[in-house]
Structure 1
Amino acid sequence: MEAHVNGSPVPVPDSPATSAAAHLRDGLGLTGTKVACGTGVCGACTVLVDGSPAASCLLPADRLAGRSVTTVEGLGGEHPVQRAFAAHDGLQCGYCTPGFVVEASVFVDGWRAEHGDTPPGREEIADALAGHLCRCGAYEGIFSAVAAACAGEFDTLPDRDPPRVDAVDKVTGRARYSADQAPPGTWEGVVVRSVHPHARIRSVRAADADTPLVDLLPADRTVRYVGQPIAAVAAPTPGRARAAAEAVAVDYDLRPAVAEVATARAPGAPLVHATTDERAGAPSYGEAPSPPARWDGNVRGPGTVTWRGPTAVRRLRAAAASGNPLLVAQEYTTAAQLHSPLEPHVCVAHWHGGGLDLFASTQSVSGLADRVAERWELDRDRVRVVAEHVGGAFGAKNGISTDIRAAVDLSRLAGAPVRVSFTRAEELTDAGHRPGTRTRVALLADGDGDLAAMSVDSYGDGGVSVGSTTATMALLMYGRAPRRVRDYDVVTHRPPGMPMRAPGGPPMAWALEQAVDEMACRLGEDPLALRLRWDGNPKRRALYERAARTALWRGRPRGPRTGRFRRGVGAAASNWLYLFGPRARVELVVEGGELVVRTATQDLGTGIRTVLSGTVADRLGLPGGVRVEIGDSGAVFGTGSYGSRTTPSMGPAAADAADRMRAALRGRDPRVPERGPVDEHVLKEVLSTSEGLSVVGGRVRDRWGPPFPDTPDDLGVGRGMSGAVHLMEVEVDTLLGRVRPTRCWAGIAAGRIYSERTARNQCEGAVVQGVGYALFEERRHDPRTGAVLSDDLEDYRLPGMGDVPETEVYFHQEGFEHVPGGGVGLGEVSAVGVAAALGNAVFDATGWRPRDLPLRPDRVIEGIR
């Protein structure tokens, strides 16, 4: 049996047990075809079969016999769509990009055959690509790319390089992710998970004594949620590994469980963490260690932070007792939001010669190598972690996760490389989520309309984990009026949360920013004008003023609206800490007559390769970028990608390396100037005689120094906070309860922007994720067992191209002149206020104040009746 794949005859399996995607990837080495959902929902595995797009994860490989198949590699990098995606930055992490490109190539060819070079509109493009998801949210670039390709703008090679230095590798399928790195002879590992919410495990046994099995249970041998890892097994093929996992015998000693927050708080409820040691060992979903707090049954907290707290409480109580109309007291809830990067958690581990190699999807290459060396008691130079490309993370891939633990130990037992990759069901169950929240906000204005007092109490719903910071985030907003904020956690027998993009930020803004808008209504004041008056942050004040001048805000409808379709515009503000990695290092070396950047950081799609290349080129005045090699722990220390700290850490280190290289080259040839551009011919000549010359740059200190000491794990807190203001326009269908975002303006104050297009892409993607949080994303569970029911991408809905607004991003680039490089991170701050702005827009359109996320149609219909 044969098929023609990319023009060449190849054999195909004669059994339907192997999917076309698995055969293309593992059988033929065409790893540009990605598997993300496994159910034909996300589009990442799209290939052309006899010229028509098909989801290869659902297609049995034997059905390819006698047919013509084209993968992304078969497009050859010459299709106008590929050039357009690269030029318009229609990608971030790139994991979904091959599927988009393959589908779009058919649409573009068909559109042009019918319409010539007339570009399609957003609706036509969204309809054509409706079967594709990008969790990073790179849709704005995709819209532009497809329209430009249809208009014939990329029939020839563009006259400039793409804005993202690894764009061509991603649009052609050459970019290799961790699952693509499995060498011949790699075994497959499968995790055995608990089917009960609470039990002590008496024993775990493989059916076959020759099957490698590793224990993944905690020290107390207790499972506390359905889906908790118990063990892992490995076999030479995926099918045999799955069969071995199904045959593992687990002896459970069942214990009472509690899966609902209300039940967990009831007197006499079964305890999730019963002892002091268990409570101390509860997993944390905060990025920083959880401070000590008291426990009352299954409730942890409060963690209280105040600024003149007693004064705030006294004023709020007096206002409540007197019925003061300028007291806004409201309660809001949010659902769990799952990280769900399209590249699942995956690790390929290989022990050899006393050392350990890992290909892992991780947010911290250097940090993971350090942790692995410590855990498995190896010298650091015996551990190599590689993450050439990472298909998204959003906070879920920072540490020794289950896939890594299982792969490392199974490889040692099997004596072979072992790959452990989560299924989408595992990813949506036990790979992290932003916990749900219930938050009470009270704001009091005085007779002049100034903020007189604030209190925020928030209860986090993170399953077995703790670490709520939702209320604490409100402490940093709106001046220095008296305030008290208290964070609690309610634990249940459900999977643990993890830090997710701006931990605590979006649920805080959902509550606080709607309360601020309500206060503006009580005062009869423009919502932006009230924020401008309350907010002392000069960077956000500049954004309020800019937002007020936009056509979106000035042209918004006023007064009550009627009719089925009602339009409204809402605003929300946000901030985020300025964080950095003081240990950041960048090596700049001369190889083959050219400059090469090396560091052990990683690129999750945020564009740090582009930042490094551009920074060195700009510093030396070079006409183009330089080659960048990242994602290998054998290089100098690279900062992890979390907390919006990668760019403000690695960018200054690259600039320092460039300065050091300039000095070293000047020492060899005085024609190299002390500053300014280096003549291209002089540089070429001096590099040709400087083979092997190497310098290492580090992140220099801020001009004023940090307000707090740096932590040992490469975390520094700088002076100043980034800011954002979002305006969102929505159309509400009052008959069907559908909320449709139409336009968004995102104002971001993060100082100097290193790479304008990739930064803009991040901010556009943050809007997409915020829309998902507001409208669609809701993890569902069995109320009796806590088992996750929304464990595929049909039941857990991510926003697609037809769900998102047209987005304009504005950068305010002042305010961080004391920072090396002049700019700070923007990944977090760009995500915080999106859902809140959408909620305020719904109120503006309908007069109904939404309180609960997501804004499902049933909630909207009930609310506006």
Structure 2
Amino acid sequence: MDITVNGVTTEVDADPDATAVELVREDLGLTGTKPACGVGVCGACTVLVDGRPSVSCLTPAAALEGRSVTTVEGLGGSHPVQRAFAAHDGLQCGYCTPGFVVEAAAFVDGWRAAHGDVAPDRATIADALAGHLCRCGAYQGIYAAVAAACAGEHDRDDDAAPPRAEAVEKVTGRARYSTDVRPDGLLEAVIVRSTEAHARVVEVDAGAVPHVDLLGTDRTVRYVGQPIIAVAAPTRAKALAAAEQVTVAYERLPAVLDARQARDPASPPVYATKEARRNARRSGETPPMPTRWRGNVRGPFTMGRRTATAVRRITEAARRGDERLVVGEFSTAVQAHTPLEPHACVARWDERGDLHLHVSTQAVNLIGESAAKRWGLPAERVHVVAEHVGGGFGAKGGLDVETVAAVELAKATGAPVRAVLSRSEELIDAGNRPGSRTELALLADESGDLAALSMDVYGDGGVSVDTPSALLAMLVYGKAPRRLRDFDAVTNLPPGKPFRGPGGPPMLWALEQAVDEMALRLDEDPIALRRRWDGNPKRRALYDRAAALPAWLDRSRPGEQTGRFRRGVGVAAANWFYLLEPGSEVELTVEDGTIVTRTAVQDIGNGIRSVLTDVVRGELGLPADRVRVEIGRNGTVYGPPSTGSRTTASLGPTARDAARRLRAALREHRGERGADGSGPVRLDGADGLRVVGRRRRDHRGYVTPFPLDGMALGRGFSGAVHVTEVEVDTRLGTVRPTRVWAGISAGHIYSDRLARGQCEGGVVQGLGYALYEQRHVDPATGVVLTDNLEDYRIPGIGDTPEITVHFHEEGWDHVTGGGVGLAEVATVGVAASVGNAVHNATGWRPRDLPVRPDRLREGIHQ
């Protein structure tokens, strides 16, 4: 058929069953158009068909015959919207960006034709982009970009470099992700998954199709969706057809499909042997917590301070009916990571027997090391590439099943193999924040000081264990007696993984509402009480600013409002670990008059490319085109994984050290003597000069005496205070956040706009956790019902309130570089602030997340 794409008419022989996104990407090689949801919900695959936006995942390829199609590549990089997105940083990982840009370009052109150079309001922009999702939460920058483009502010090229180093690549669709890699002779892999919640696999028949086993020696499946085998075929359609033909014979076993049932000693065991329990999956990032099993309950893992005193004080206060004792049970739902770029790997074995991996990962070094160990290769013979990564949030931190399947199939077939998870697989088995149930008791003494705290948290991580949450309460509100116990309630449901501040949001959801309730009983301002109890001096300035906000000063007392619409304002405090990789290195090499910056790290949208670029340019006084950053590969100097808010704290000061070493090396190369000098360096005649920068040890060192898996715990905690304003519709039961103020104490900010974007995205994800996101499972079968982005709701641009971020940069003088990570601390307390705002508006205290309309209506009408 004939099709005109980006102004060029082409004859293509498209599969009659193919979709437009498959035709554009696979047949025409225009990979800027991204498949993500498959149901027309996320907008990442948007193209213009005869000038109108269309989701190409739902458009048949045959429907494009004789039509004119424009992809993001067809905008040429010169559309005002593309300039605006780059200038206002309306992106993070960039996977959803081409779809946003295409839709926004059509909207901006139409708006300006009708209204001239006038910026539309937020509601109009939200309505225009309602069919698009950004899991990173870059909506604030998108609002600003679209408004500025409509106002004509980006009609001409701006000489200023955009805040994000790779912005132009992402807004033009040139950024290359693992899902875009397509070597010659490629086979597509599809994973066959369990249809049983608990069973022994007796036999698997895949016929003659190339396949590999994924179960290993343990032939037990423990949840619906567990991988069994992977098959390969020349196209994904043929691979799916082959997977449909695979037969699996099961011997069913009794299943536990509810965390409450798991707490019953009579429930059937998920892990029946000591070996199985020892090999249970883990959902935490820390080393395993030593504790015991009782049936399907693992724990308690206990931490505390004067635990017997805490228990005695709480027991005595309960006996006498003390009003200063706050008790309650709180729950949180399972939250799926679901980054818009799915887990993906392209594996290839070369003629030397080296393994080449293009993989969507947060840890290129770890993948290389793990692959070398698994397949018995020297480390230098495993080559990992993650040029651009479309989000992760903790879900892409290890050697996952898509990589194992691709590598094993490539080895078996002698061909390159690509394994890409579907959106259903992402939502079922690629990662989630475990749910929780928390039993809490909080006691104040006669002077209103914290006297005792008790928290028992039952983690709902499915088949995974190690979901620490209660123990994080050791780090807040001084040194009052406390008993903190973590349990795992193990079920036959999919496993959890670390998710942006693992364990923090559920702990704070319970604790911060209890603190708010205590302020009410003590008749004390909730911010003032937190400031008085808080032992973190870096957060006091945040409390003072929060207390002076007009929204806070103008709030009503809880429950005094009437009428359908009620305004509430709530606060929550949070802190998080300062983590770093002391062994991080940055290499600078002069090549063809340009400084090439290399380290084995990857950019998942956190902006580390830009930090490295800005630090090196700033130290050496060079323009943007004289510094090139090459990351996303192993085999160079050591770089950290992009997890745990450690990347910038590890590499920012390391890049500065490298730049200073290079300046000194250049002076020595030229035979210059005397002072070190300043100003722009001269690179002529210095090709081949190479230095390696290292991270200097912090003043006073680290809490951990030596790194664990390369990671150290630094001294001090980052801090946050969130103040959230909501509007509650008491008739419909809806909660609409209208404004969020986020005060962040993380020290030196390397890139202001990118740091704000990280914090704004953290707020958006926290709002999703509070109000929308919940995995639903069939209670009879264990089948995940919310396996698409229609049924599993993440926040869209219209759900995004006005967000103001304030950085407090003092108090980190002991840290090399002066700054620590902020991605985790920006999100962990958001949901609790929403809960307190709902209580302020209605007088009803929500205890279960998400705060759904049915729960709210029932609560306020009790």
Which TM-score bucket, shorter chain as reference?
A: over 0.9
* Mapping of residues 319-338 of structure 1, within 5 Å: 319-338=317-336
* Mapping of residues 481-496 of structure 1, within 5 Å: 481-496=480-495
Q: Which residue of 2 aligns with 1:579?
A: 579
Unaligned runs of 5+ in 2: none
Deviations 1:4-27 (A, max 9, x none): 000001223454311110111111
Instruction: For 1:304, give the aligned amino acid.
Output: T
* Mapping of residues 269-668 of structure 1, within 5 Å: 269-352=267-350, 353-558=352-557, 560-624=560-624, 626-668=627-669
Instruction: For 2:635, give the aligned amino acid.
Output: G
Unaligned runs of 5+ in 1: none
Q: Matches of 2:623 and 2:42 in 1, distance apart?
A: 39
Q: Which residue of 2 aligns with 1:853?
A: 849
Q: Matches of 2:223 and 2:617 in 1, distance apart?
A: 51
Preserved CA contact (<8 Å) 1:319 1:327: yes
Q: Matches of 1:337 and 1:7 in 2, distance apart?
A: 43
Preserved CA contact (<8 Å) 1:94 1:605: yes
Q: Which residue of 2 aligns with 1:184?
A: 184
Q: Matches of 2:782 and 2:720 in 1, distance apart?
A: 36
Deviations 1:168-203 (A, max 9, x none): 000000000001112121100000100001111122
Q: Which residue of 1 aligns with 2:706?
A: 710
Q: Which residue of 2 aligns with 1:145?
A: 145
Deviations 1:565-607 (A, max 9, x none): 0001000000001000122111000011111101110000000
Instruction: For 1:370, give the aligned amino acid.
Output: E
* 2:691 aligned to which of 689, 695, 700: 695
Q: Measure how far apart 1:671 and its partner are.
A: 5.5
Q: Measure how far apart 1:703 and its partner are.
A: 1.1
Q: Secondary structure at the match of 1:759?
A: helix
Preserved CA contact (<8 Å) 1:665 1:672: no
Q: Matches of 1:448 and 1:670 in 2, distance apart?
A: 70
* Cα separation, partners in 2 of 1:460 and 1:672, compared to 1, 3 Å: farther
Instruction: For 1:307, give the aligned amino acid.
Output: R
Q: Measure how far apart 1:757 and its partner are.
A: 0.5
After alignment, is 3-12 or 329-338 more displaced?
A: 3-12
Instruction: For 1:141, give the aligned amino acid.
Output: G
Q: Measure how far apart 1:775 and its partner are.
A: 0.5
* Mapping of residues 653-802 of structure 1, within 5 Å: 653-669=654-670, 674-675=675-676, 677-679=678-680, 683-684=681-682, 687-802=683-798
Q: Matches of 1:13 and 1:112 in 2, distance apart?
A: 38
Preserved CA contact (<8 Å) 2:703 2:712: no
Q: Which residue of 2 aligns with 1:252?
A: 250
Q: Matches of 2:500 and 2:743 in 1, distance apart?
A: 18
Q: Secondary structure at the match of 2:229?
A: strand
Instruction: For 2:739, give the aligned amino acid.
Output: R
Q: Which residue of 2 aligns with 1:863?
A: 859
Preserved CA contact (<8 Å) 2:265 2:294: no
Q: Secondary structure at the match of 1:578?
A: strand
After alignment, is 306-315 or 262-271 more displaced?
A: 262-271
* Mapping of residues 126-145 of structure 1, within 5 Å: 126-145=126-145
Q: Matches of 1:673 and 1:646 in 2, distance apart?
A: 35
Q: Measure how far apart 1:219 and its partner are.
A: 2.2
Q: Matches of 2:71 and 2:442 in 1, distance apart?
A: 57
Instruction: For 1:443, give the aligned amino acid.
Output: L
Q: Measure how far apart 1:558 and its partner are.
A: 4.3
* Cα separation, partners in 2 of 1:458 and 1:546, compared to 1, 3 Å: same
Q: Secondary structure at the match of 2:495?
A: coil
Deviations 1:627-682 (A, max 9, x none): 11100112211110111100011112111111111110010235698556333xxx
Instruction: For 1:317, give the aligned amino acid.
Output: T
* Cα separation, partners in 2 of 1:676 and 1:864, compared to 1, 3 Å: farther
Q: Matches of 1:275 and 1:811 in 2, distance apart?
A: 50
* Cα separation, partners in 2 of 1:652 and 1:672, compared to 1, 3 Å: farther
Q: Which residue of 2 aligns with 1:831?
A: 827
Deviations 1:97-130 (A, max 9, x none): 0000000001101111111111001100000000
Q: Measure how far apart 1:70 and its partner are.
A: 0.1
* Cα separation, partners in 2 of 1:14 and 1:654, compared to 1, 3 Å: closer
Q: Secondary structure at the match of 1:829?
A: coil
2:227 corresponds to 1:226: no
Instruction: For 1:845, give the aligned amino acid.
Output: A
* Mapping of residues 139-218 of structure 1, within 5 Å: 139-208=139-208, 211-218=209-216
Q: Matches of 1:653 and 1:371 in 2, distance apart?
A: 25
Q: Matches of 2:374 and 2:582 in 1, distance apart?
A: 24
Between the aligned residues of both structures, percent identity stands at 63
Q: Measure how far apart 1:265 and its partner are.
A: 2.3
Q: TM-score, with normalisation over the residues of structure 1? A: 0.98
Q: Matches of 2:561 and 2:185 in 1, distance apart?
A: 66
Q: Matches of 1:562 and 1:787 in 2, distance apart?
A: 42
Q: Matches of 1:354 and 1:725 in 2, distance apart?
A: 53
Q: Matches of 2:300 and 2:265 in 1, distance apart?
A: 18
Preserved CA contact (<8 Å) 1:662 1:674: no
Instruction: For 1:834, give the aligned amino acid.
Output: V
Q: Secondary structure at the match of 1:149?
A: helix
Q: Measure how far apart 1:204 and its partner are.
A: 1.7
Q: Measure how far apart 1:835 and its partner are.
A: 0.4
Q: Matches of 2:822 and 2:4 in 1, distance apart?
A: 46
Q: Matches of 1:623 and 1:23 in 2, distance apart?
A: 40
Deviations 1:294-338 (A, max 9, x none): 111111110000101111111000000000000001111000000
Preserved CA contact (<8 Å) 1:597 1:629: yes
Q: TM-score, with normalisation over the residues of structure 2? A: 0.98
RMSD (Å) for aligned C-alpha atoms = 1.2
Q: Matches of 1:759 and 1:830 in 2, distance apart?
A: 10
State the 4+ residue runs in structure 1 displaced beyond 6 angstroms: none
Instruction: For 1:403, give the aligned amino acid.
Output: E
Q: Secondary structure at the match of 1:830?
A: coil
Preserved CA contact (<8 Å) 2:664 2:676: no
Deviations 1:770-804 (A, max 9, x none): 01000100000010121101000000001001111
**How many residues are paired up?**
858
Q: Which residue of 2 aligns with 1:50?
A: 50
* 1:843 aligned to which of 824, 836, 839: 839
* Cα separation, partners in 2 of 1:519 and 1:673, compared to 1, 3 Å: farther
Q: Secondary structure at the match of 1:595?
A: strand
Q: Measure how far apart 1:712 and its partner are.
A: 4.6
Q: Measure how far apart 1:249 and its partner are.
A: 2.0
Instruction: For 1:4, give the aligned amino acid.
Output: T
Q: Matches of 1:331 and 1:712 in 2, distance apart?
A: 35
Preserved CA contact (<8 Å) 1:584 1:699: yes
Q: Secondary structure at the match of 1:315?
A: helix
Preserved CA contact (<8 Å) 1:258 1:785: no
Preserved CA contact (<8 Å) 1:464 1:495: yes
Q: Matches of 1:187 and 1:379 in 2, distance apart?
A: 26
Preserved CA contact (<8 Å) 2:222 2:493: yes
Q: Which residue of 1 aligns with 2:799?
A: 803
